[in-house]
Structure 1
Amino acid sequence: MTRYLVLLSAVVMQLCLGATYSWSVYVASLKAVTGISQAGVQLPFSFFYFVFPVTMVFSGSVLTRMGPRFSAMLGGLLFGSGWMMAGLGGYAFAFTVMGIGVIAGVGAGLAYIVPLSTAILWFPKQKGLVTGIAVAGFGGGAAIVSQVGGALMTHMGKTPFQVFPILGAVFLVLITLAGTVMKTPENDNKNIDEPEKNKGVSFSWMLAQPMFRILYFAMFSGLAAGFAVNANLKELHTASGVQAGVFAVSLFALANALGRISWGAFFDRVTPATAVKANLLCQAFFLILGALFLGSKTGFYLFALGTGFNYGGILVLYASSTALCWGDKRMGAIYGFLFSANIPAAVAPMAAGWIFEIGGSFYPAFIAIGVLLVVSIFLIPATFKSS
C-alpha cells in the first residue's frame, strides 16, 4: 500500500504547486487595483516560471543528497510562505513579485521533482501513466484555486492581496504534510548498478547529446504555447464577460489535468516519438487557427479545452522520455536540466502581452509559437536514443 500512499501524496502536492496556473484570474483585478499594465501584472507569473526551472537544475542534487522527504517539506514551506508574502503587494507590488515569483518559485523547484522521480521508482513499468497521475494535480489544482480565488474576489469582495495569504497558508500545510510520506523503495539502492550509479551528470554533458538538444527545443516550444495562452486566457474573449473568462481558466486547468493522464497513457502504448509529435501537432493546430476559435464564446471554451489538454502532455511526455533515454535512477537529475526550457518559455506571456498592447491582438504571437511547434515536429527523430 505504500506506493499508492506515495502516489496520493504526490497528487496532493501537485494540486498546491499548480496554483500559479490560475494567475489570469487575478490579472484584471490587479490591473484595477494597482494601475499596472497587462505586461506588468504578468511579472509574478513570468518570474515564477524563471525561478522555478532554475531551481529545478539544482534540485536533483538536493534530492539525491537530502532525500525526497526533505526536498518536499522544504519546498512546501517556501511555496506557502511565498504566497503569504504576496499579500503585502498592496503596499508595493514588488512583494507579490518576490513572494510568488521568487520564493514560491524556489519552493516549487525543490518540491516538484519529488513526486515525479519517486513515483517512477515505485511504478517502473507504467512510467507515462504514473507520471501523468502524479502531476495531474498541477493542472487540476489550478481549477480549484481559480474557482476559490474568483469566489473570494467576486462574492466576498476581497482583493487579490487578501486572497494570496489565505491560499498560501493552505498550501504550506498541505505540501509539508504530503511531503512527510515521500520516500523511495527500500531496495532502490540495491537495484542501481555501479556504472549508472557513479556516472556523473552535468549540463555540459547533457548539451553534448543531440537527443537532449532536440527534446529541449521541443519542450520549450510546447511550454511557450501553454504559457502564452494560460497567462492571457481571461483576456482572449472579453466580450463574453468576467465569469466566462474565469470559467475558461477552469476549463484550461481541468483539461490540463486530464491531458497529463491521457497523454501519459498514450505514451505507454505508442513509440515515444509518436506521442511527442502528436502532442506538438495538436497544439500547433489550435494556435495557428486561434482566430477561428476565438470568434465566439463556444470557440473560446473549445480553445481553452484544446490548448489545456495538449499543454498537459508537455510535463508528462518529456519526463517519461527522460527516464526512457537516460534511466529511471538518473531521471531526477537529468529532467531538472531539461526542465530549464521553462526559462526562455517564461518570456512568452509577457511577449504576447506586449504584442497585444501594440496591435490589439494575440494572434500574431500564437501563430509564431505555432510555427515553432511545427519545426519541432520535423526535428524529432523516429527513435529516441540517449547519445
Structure 2
Amino acid sequence: MGTFDGLKMALSKDGAVAAPGYSRWLVAAAALLIHFPLGQAYGFSVFNAPLVKVLGSSLTSVGWIFSVAIIFLGLSAAVFGKWVERVGPRKAMLASALCFFSGFLVSALGVLMGSLPVVILGYGVIGGTGLGIGYISPVSTLIKWFPDRRGMATGLAIMGFGGGALVGSPLAVNLMKYFSEGSQYGGIPATFVTMAVLYLGFQLSAAWIARIPFAGYQPRGWVPGKVDAAHIASNGAGDFPVSEAIRQPQFWLLWGILLLNVSAGIGILGQASLMAQKMVGISAAAAAGFVGLLSLCNMAGRFIWSSFSDRIGRKWAYAMYSGVGALAYWAIPGAAASGNMLLFVALFALVMSFYGAGFATIPAYLADMFGKKEVGAIHGRLLTAWSMAGVIGPLVVNAGRDYLVKTEGLADAAAYSTVVYVLGGLLVAEFVLNLFVKEPRSSAIPANTSIPGMLSPQTSSK
C-alpha cells in the first residue's frame, strides 16, 4: 500500500475505528482541539477597528465579516451534515481545518488588496464553511462514545468553542502589535497568516486523535436501555434518519428554542461593554474585564449546565435556562438603577452561562429525541437557527437601542434597560416552546413505544 493509499485509508470512516481499549477521553480531547480554534470567531471584533482604518470602510460594513461567517456556519452545517455522518470525524475535521486555514489566507490577501469583499469571501464564506463543518464534526462521535453522559460530552466539546475567544482575542491583538512596525496594513495580514498556521496545527492534531467506537462498544458498567430514561435511542430502535427528523414538529420546536436562546444571548455579547458603561457607569477598562468574565461564564456554562442536564433531563434543563434566564434579564435594570454592581454582574454572568448551555445541551436534546445514528446531520440542520439568531439578536439590541435613543429620546441607560426587557421576553417564548416538546413518533417506532421520564432525572455511570 502506497503512502497516498495509506493516508486515504486513515482518513476514511473505517480507518478511524478505535481498537478495544482506546480511551474515549482522547476523543473528547480531539473535540476540544477542533473547537478551540473555531471559537476565535467570537473574538473577531478585535480586528474591526484596525480593518476600518486599513480598508477605509465603515464599522457597519466591516461588521459583515463576522455576520457572514455565522450565516455560513449554519448553512454549511446544514448542507454538509449528512456528509459528515457518512465520511466520519477525521475527514470532516480535515475539511474544516483546510477551509478555516484557507479563509485566513484569503482574508490576508484581501487586506493587501484593500478589498473588503475579498476579506468577507475569505473569513466569512470560506472560513465560515470551515466553522460549520468543524462545529458538528465531533458531535455524533462523542454521543456514541458517551451514551451515558451525552450532555457532559457535548458540553465539554462545545466549551472549547466558547473559550476560543479568550485566547484568540489577546493573541490577535499582540500579533498585530508585533507585526505592525513598518507595516502599512497594521500587521493584519501577517497576523492572519500566523493564526492560520497555529490553528491548523490544533485541528490536524484533532483529526489524528479522533476515533469512532468499535462494534459493540459500551461504557463500563453502563446498561443500554436502563441508564438514560430520557431518550429513545438506548437500544437503537428510535434512530431517526435526518430526512424524517426534520419533518417532526419536535425538530422545529427545538429549532425555535435554539433561535430564541441564541438571539437573546448573542445580542448581549456584541454590546456588553457599552451596556455596562452606560447602565452602571463603569470605565472602559472595567467594562473590558466585565466582557472577559462573561466569556468565562459562557464557556463554563457549556460544561456545567449541560452536564447537569444529564441528571435532571433535557426538558427541565431548558426550562431552567429560559425561565430563570428571563427572570434574571428582567432583574438587571433594577440592579443597575439601584447601583448594586455585584448583583448586576452576577445576573449577567448567569444569563451568559445559560446562553452557552443552550448551545451545548442541544445536541444531547436532539439525540434524546431522534437517536444517535444521524444526530450530527440533524444538528447541522438545526444550526440554521444560529445563522438567523446572528442577525436577529444584534438587530434587537442595536436597532432597538438606536430607535429608543434617537426617536423616543431616551437616555442610553433607559434604552438598554428596555432592550433587556425585550430579551427576557424572548426567553419567555423559549420557555413556552419547550413545554410542547414531547417524544416524536416514527413509522419505525411502534405506536405503543414511549419515552419514559422525559421530565425525570437521569442516572449515569461514572
The one of 354, 363, 366 aligned to 2:399: 354
Q: Which residue of 2 aligns with 1:130?
A: 153
Q: Which residue of 2 aligns with 1:201?
A: 242
Preserved CA contact (<8 Å) 1:280 1:376: yes
**Whole-Å Cα distance in 1 between the matches of residues 333 and 45 of structure 2?**
20
Per-residue deviation, residues 306-357 of structure 1 (Å, max 9, x unmatched): 3331111011221110011111112112111222111211213541333344
Preserved CA contact (<8 Å) 1:222 1:280: yes
**Whole-Å Cα distance in 2 between the matches of residues 150 and 306 of structure 1?**
28
Q: Which residue of 1 aligns with 2:13?
A: none
The one of 46, 51, 55 aligned to 2:76: 55
Counterparts of residues 128-277 of structure 1 (less than 5 Å): 128-153=151-176, 158=186, 160=188, 162-187=190-215, 200-202=241-243, 205-238=244-277, 240-277=282-319
Amino acid paired to 1:315:
F
Counterparts of residues 332-343 of structure 1 (less than 5 Å): 332-343=376-387
Per-residue deviation, residues 81-100 of structure 1 (Å, max 9, x unmatched): 21232234531222332222
Deviation, structure 1 residue 183: 2.4
Preserved CA contact (<8 Å) 1:234 1:245: yes
**Whole-Å Cα distance in 1 between the matches of residues 311 and 238 of structure 2?**
27
Deviation, structure 1 residue 161: 5.0
Q: Which residue of 1 aligns with 2:456?
A: none
Per-residue deviation, residues 48-84 of structure 1 (Å, max 9, x unmatched): 1111011111222111322211011111111122123
The one of 360, 363, 367 aligned to 1:319: 363
Preserved CA contact (<8 Å) 2:33 2:205: no
Greater Cα shift, 220-229 or 289-298 = 289-298
Amino acid paired to 2:321:
N
SS at match of 1:50: helix
1:172–1:299 distance in 2 versus 1, CA, 3 Å: farther
Matched, 1:367 2:388: no
The one of 76, 80, 87 aligned to 2:108: 87
Amino acid paired to 2:214:
E
Greater Cα shift, 259-268 or 365-374 = 365-374
Unaligned stretches of 5+ in structure 1?
none
Preserved CA contact (<8 Å) 1:131 1:316: yes
Deviation, structure 1 residue 298: 5.8
Matched, 1:46 2:67: yes
Deviation, structure 1 residue 35: 5.4
**Whole-Å Cα distance in 1 between the matches of residues 42 and 116 of structure 2?**
19
The one of 348, 353, 359 aligned to 1:309: 353
Greater Cα shift, 266-275 or 157-166 = 157-166
1:20–1:13 distance in 2 versus 1, CA, 3 Å: same
**Whole-Å Cα distance in 2 between the matches of residues 34 and 310 of structure 1?**
37
1:26–1:188 distance in 2 versus 1, CA, 3 Å: farther
1:179–1:218 distance in 2 versus 1, CA, 3 Å: same
**Whole-Å Cα distance in 2 between the matches of residues 146 and 18 of structure 1?**
10
Greater Cα shift, 24-33 or 317-326 = 24-33
Aligned residue pairs total 384
Amino acid paired to 2:262:
L
**Whole-Å Cα distance in 2 between the matches of residues 287 and 39 of structure 1?**
27
Amino acid paired to 1:355:
G
Deviation, structure 1 residue 220: 0.2
Deviation, structure 1 residue 129: 0.8
Preserved CA contact (<8 Å) 1:52 1:105: yes
SS at match of 2:435: coil
In our comparison, the structure showing a higher alpha carbon Rg is 2
Q: Which residue of 1 aligns with 2:446?
A: none
Q: Percent identity?
A: 26
**Whole-Å Cα distance in 1 between the matches of residues 109 and 283 of structure 2?**
29
1:291–1:8 distance in 2 versus 1, CA, 3 Å: same
Amino acid paired to 1:5:
L
Q: TM-score under structure 1 normalisation?
A: 0.88
**Whole-Å Cα distance in 1 between the matches of residues 356 and 268 of structure 2?**
13
Preserved CA contact (<8 Å) 1:21 1:142: yes
SS at match of 1:76: helix
Q: Decide which structure has greater helix share.
A: 1
Q: Which residue of 2 aligns with 1:24?
A: 45
